[in-house]
Amino acid sequence: MIPGPALMGAALLWAALGLLAFLFPWAVPWWAGFGSLTALVALADALVLRAGTARIYATRSVPEALPLGEPASVVLSLGLEGAGWAPARVEAFDLVPVCFEWTGLPLSVPGRALSRDEPVTLSYSIQTLTRGSWTFPGVDLRSRTVLGFWKLRTRLPLASSGRTFPNFRALARLADAELRGVTDAVGLHSRRKRGLGTEFLDLRDYRPGDPVRSIDWKATSRRRKPIVREYQEERDQEIVFLVDSGYRLHRADGDMLLFDRALDALLYLAYVAAKRDDSIAVMSFGNDERWLPPRRGHGSMPALLNTIYDLQSGPGASSPADALEKLVRRLRKRSLIILLSNLQEEDGQALSWILPTVTERHLLLVVNIREEELAAASSRSGDAPPLVRAAAFSYSQRRKALAARWERLGILTLETTASKLSPDLVNSYLDIKRSGRL
């Protein structure tokens, strides 16, 4: 038990009477009598609170799966059980994990609202801050009587566990918009799913606007009218994400890590690829190594989310070359390998021995996620000091030279900032699909 406001007030008054009794002896009986009365009332209040009040039970309702950054509501239900009186007031403070922000605590309810028949429901709001697993261990209750001399603190063990996933709903909405061809606002180019492609679909009558190269001259001759060949993008191809969880992406870019931006782009493109019936696989290396074999169909996205929802980057070393070697041994068919990292000039030499092995069987797309600060500093129109601007420009030129050297080896490259990563990556994927290189 902890002292309540009434006991603290009585103690202050008793101290004031003590000072008065020190100055005026006639006040000593008043001081002693008030102290005795206060002690008796406090003892009686403690006995009532300890032995006379009924036990309080609590239940909690919280979603087991939460999207990152989205608000959610937690509902606590309080009720009475066993013999005894209801306390005058109860305050409930839920033990919220540190990965949440919360508003609305503590929850307060008058004792007369509690009953043994129907629990009273209270709610407060939470918002996730990080991905991963979490557990609410219990609830702290503070009860007091009408007199308010004491507060009885009780901790109820009440475990609720769940997981926070990347905000896939927002990414899926954008991806669906891309599939409808209305994403100019976010930088994606509208592309037809049927028409020019790499896999023959059907023959049909010529329509104004069809390119001349799509005309099937043999069919035109047989039917005596213009006939065009219609194509579609090839399906059931394999898209493999190779994600660097080491120091290269373990750096802040605005309010997020580059690694978290990379995961968002991965999910974005994976959703688009799954819509096109391509198989999805993921491998991470560096701080946390994981492997999700190629999956296709409706189960690919849940499996992907369950694999990467708590994947975290770290400041430790990572080896893209070793990861590529391990990945190539795992793959059984030709795949588009998308390496998400922030490779530096020195990585060119480290990767030189493995790249011919990779490109012999697979198509490799190296995605370099450039920091926004570097892009701003290397810009001639920026306000960075001349020395900083010159160093950033030189650094960017060396990275471009490395990308050009890789492209001469048949490797695709994409250099982009974190804010443009998702649309740029999807555009690169769509270009590859339409080109038939995979």
Residue-range domain boundaries for the chain: 2-52, 55-165, 168-192+234-435, 199-232
Identity of the amino acid at 407: E
- 198 and 99 Cβ atoms separated by less than 8 Å: no
Query: Do 168-192+234-435 and 55-165 fall under one CATH topology?
Result: no
CA angle 339, 179, 433 (to 5 degrees): 45
Cα–Cα distance, 189 to 427 (Å, whole number): 7
Cα–Cα distance, 64 to 181 (Å, whole number): 34
Cα–Cα distance, 326 to 320 (Å, whole number): 10
Q: What is the pLDDT of residue 170?
A: 67
Q: What is the pLDDT of residue 367?
A: 95
The number of beta carbons lying within 10 Å of the beta carbon of residue 88 is: 16
| CB-based burial label for 228 (10 Å; 0-12, 13-18, 19+) | buried
Q: What is the pLDDT of residue 55?
A: 84
Q: pTM, whole model, 2 decimals?
A: 0.74
User: What's the half-sphere exposure (Cβ side, CA atoms, 13 Å) at 135?
Assistant: 5
pLDDT digit of tens for each residue in the chain (438 aa)?
777 778 888 888 888 888 888 888 888 888 888 888 888 888 877 777 677 677 889 999 999 999 888 899 999 999 888 777 778 788 999 999 999 999 999 999 988 888 888 899 999 999 999 999 999 999 999 888 777 777 888 899 999 999 999 887 766 666 555 555 534 444 444 444 444 445 555 677 888 767 777 788 888 888 888 888 766 555 678 999 999 999 999 988 877 889 999 999 999 899 889 888 899 999 999 999 999 999 988 788 889 999 999 999 999 999 999 999 999 999 999 999 999 999 887 888 888 889 999 999 999 999 999 877 666 666 655 566 667 667 766 777 777 888 888 888 889 999 998 888 988 999 999 888 877 777
Strand residue runs (E) in 39-99: 55-61, 65-67, 71-81, 89-94
Dmax (CA) for the chain in angstroms is 127
CATH of domain 55-165: 2.60.40.10
Residue 58 pairs with which residues in a beta bridge? 78
Q: What is the pLDDT of residue 381?
A: 57
Classify domain 168-192+234-435 at the CATH class level: alpha beta
* Residue 314 DSSP SS3: coil
Q: What sections of 224-299 are H helices per DSSP?
A: 258-275
* Residue 132 DSSP SS3: strand
Helix axes 5-23, 28-47, angle to 10 degrees: 160
Length of the chain: 438
